[in-house]
């Protein structure tokens, strides 16, 4: 069974540009989570989808971040316009049920210059 | 706040035992996860404790005391491949995970 995949693995962009990250969860997992780790800090929650609905977006930093999960399968996270402080590693995780073990993807390393 | 605290780094030799402690705020507690993360890779699930006591899984064991807000991960018969970051995480509302900063374990020959 394929694990959680993320694309791209790395992205280097300039301040003010737009970047879109993609996450493909494990097939059949209704719950999809986005997390972020900035340099020297712990992994922090961004938001949680159940199927195509946003269950909890309390961790989203500001309105420059937009997440979607059309059709309840893969998800995208768009940052527009990107700022220097958005640099970090963005992880996606999925689980079958709410509160069950989350399986993580390898992350997208975003560097904003 | 609801801090999760774990040591920053631990060093041990091959074949030895290392114990990684994790303390957390007990309000709204729903269990505790341990993940292993090698540099540049995905965090991988190691264990989930929801009841008090020790759970053993091969060379790795995890312990939980809910009343004390305390857990530890025990790594036995250390191997070089065990050099990694070990993350303690507590599920909060709707299952979102709150992570500690991670403990970097360095295994030396």
Between A and B, how many CB-CB pairs are < 8 A? 58
Q: How many CB atoms lie within 10 A of CB A91?
A: 25
Inter-chain residue contact A56 with B94, CB threshold 8 Å: yes
CA pair distance B82, A12, nearest whole angstrom: 31
Each residue of B43-88: pLDDT tens digit?
999 999 999 999 999 999 999 998 899 999 999 999 999 999 999 9
Inter-chain residue contact B30 with A42, CB threshold 8 Å: no
Answer yes or no: are the C-beta atoms of B42 and B94 closer than 8 Å. Answer: no
Mutate which of A42, A47, A56 to disrupt the B interface (most B C-beta within 10 Å)?
A: A42
Q: Which residue of A has its CA nearest to B86?
A: A42
Name the residue among A45, A106, A107 with its Cβ closest to that of B96: A45
Residue A64 Cα to chain centre, angstroms: 14
pLDDT in tens, chain A (113 residues): 689 999 999 999 999 999 999 999 999 999 999 999 998 899 999 999 999 999 999 999 999 999 999 888 999 999 999 999 999 999 999 999 888 899 999 999 999 99
Answer yes or no: are the C-beta atoms of A38 and A85 closer than 8 Å. Answer: yes
């Amino acid at each position: 069974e394929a694990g959680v995949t993320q694309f791209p693995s790395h992205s280097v962009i300039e301040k003010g540009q737009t970047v879109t990250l993609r996450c493909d969860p494990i097939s059949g997992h209704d719950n999809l989570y986005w997390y972020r780790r900035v340099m020297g800090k712990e992994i922090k929650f961004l938001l949680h989808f159940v199927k195509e609905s946003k269950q909890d977006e309390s961790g989203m930093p500001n309105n420059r971040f937009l997440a979607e999960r059309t059709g309840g399968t893969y998800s995208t996270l768009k940052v527009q316009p990107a700022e220097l402080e958005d640099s970090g590693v963005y992880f996606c995780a999925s689980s079958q049920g709410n509160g069950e073990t989350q399986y993580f993807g390898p992350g997208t390393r975003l560097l904003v210059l | 706040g609801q801090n999760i605290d774990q040591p920053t780094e631990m060093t041990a030799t091959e074949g030895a035992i290392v114990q990684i402690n994790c303390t957390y705020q007990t309000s709204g507690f729903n269990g505790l996860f341990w993940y292993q993360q090698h540099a540049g890779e995905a965090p991988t699930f190691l264990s989930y404790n929801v009841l008090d006591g020790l759970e053993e899984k091969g060379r790795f064991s995890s312990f939980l005391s809910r009343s004390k807000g305390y857990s530890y991960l025990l790594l036995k018969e250390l191997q070089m491949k065990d050099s990694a970051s070990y993350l303690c995480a507590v599920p909060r509302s709707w299952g979102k995970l709150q992570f500690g900063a991670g403990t970097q374990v360095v295994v030396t020959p």
